[in-house]
Amino acid sequence: MAEGKGYGKCILFNEHFVVYGIPSIVSAISDATVAIAEKTDSGGIQLIDNRPATPGYKEEKKEHQEDSLRRILGAMDISMNANLRITLKGDLFAASGVGASAASCTAIARTLNQLFDMGLDDDRINEIAYEGEKGYHGTPSGVDNTASTYGGMIWFVKGEPNTFDLMKIPQPVEIVMGNTGTVANTKAAVAGVKERREKNPEEYDKIFSRARNIAYDARKALESSDLKEVGRLMNVNHQLLQKIEVSNGDLDALVETARKAGAFGAKMTGGGLGGYMVALTPGESLQEKVSKAIKKKGFSVLKTKIGV
């Protein structure tokens, strides 16, 4: 029997823009998916999904998950006729916006690596997790699987090849992630941006160039612990995401609730059109206050830290 783990993630800056080579900042979170793999005598390949989840998430993602697993097995040269049981568990909520698909791809790649004694390093695990992500996203930027595999806070730029480096921030910072409870389709959200960008190239160029500047300013602010500035930039980033039409009413309402409760800044996070938002809430008492305000509106939250 073998076990592998993949972290959940929170994109702090520039989801969607990252698909077009704009730098993004992502932090792994401590909530993770764990995959257990064991060889069996019969029954083919079985995937048992015991992750806690947003209602409807697993059903909605079932075909994507099967496609993803086929891709992972293919990338690892494991026969589709093997007898294997893979069980997914862990404390990461299977929901949109929190890197659930990437975390499961990384966890599965890691556990199979161990089960078959392949000796693969993190770079290869990340490549395999990226192949698995294609089952969910079509053409993912690679930001999610990179956070799931390496952990920490990462400056990520999509390119040929992708480049990324681990950022050092002076100390971990509390965040609250609010779950709209809506299962979102990231593939459709990414396709929508592409279509609108092609229709309005000038307007989108301006928005994209502001997103690029925000990434550099945010990196500076994070590395010098200027959290008021980080929060302000998150608010601006949310506005840009609204402009490219990937936010929605629930996300905007939760962002507003978090700001009113004192969050330094708040924005949607991940693919949008549902899923999660994130609020920057340094200190446990502010984190608790913002978390309560979101829960009072009837939404569930995840309290965690970035930069751990």
Interface residues toward ligand MEV, by CB under 6 A = 11, 15-16, 18-19, 137, 140-141, 143-144, 186, 190, 270-271
Residue whose C-beta lies closest to ligand MEV: 141
Cβ neighbors of 170 (< 8 A, separation 6 or more) are 223, 224, 225
Compute the least distance from the CB of residue 9 to ligand MEV, in Å: 7
CB of 97 to ligand MEV, least distance (A): 7
The DSSP output letter for 18 is G
CB of 137 to ligand MEV, least distance (A): 5
- Coil/strand/helix, residue 211: helix
Residue pointed to by tokens 């609010």 = 178
> Alpha helices, DSSP H only, in the chain?
57-60, 62-75, 100-115, 122-137, 143-150, 186-199, 201-223, 227-243, 249-260, 284-296
In the bound complex, what is the minimum distance in angstroms from residue 283's beta carbon to ligand MEV? 27
Residue with Cβ nearer ligand MEV (69 or 184): 184
Closer residue to ligand MEV in complex, CB, 61/261: 61
Closer residue to ligand MEV in complex, CB, 113/180: 180
Strands 84-90, 45-49: pairing kind: parallel
Residue type, 27: S
Take residue 17 and report the two structure tokens written for it.
């823009």
Q: Is 195 exposed, middle or buried (0-12, 13-18, 19+ CB in 10 A)?
A: exposed
Map tokens 């966890």 to a residue.
107
Task: Choose between 138 and 262: whose C-beta lies nearer to ligand MEV.
Answer: 138
Residue closer to ligand MEV by CB (options 181, 271) is: 271
**Minimum CB separation from ligand MEV for residue 261, in Å?**
25
The partner residues of 11 in beta bridges, in order of sequence, read 26
- Give the residue with the Cβ less far from ligand MEV, 96 or 113: 96
In the complex with ligand MEV, which residue's Cβ is closer, 265 or 271?
A: 271
Question: Nearest distance from residue 7's CB to ligand MEV, in Å?
Answer: 13
Which residues, at least 6 apart from 150, have a Cβ–Cβ distance to it below 8 Å? 28, 122, 126, 164, 166
User: Minimal distance in Å, beta carbon 201 to ligand MEV?
Assistant: 20
Calculate Rg over the CA atoms of the chain. Answer: 19
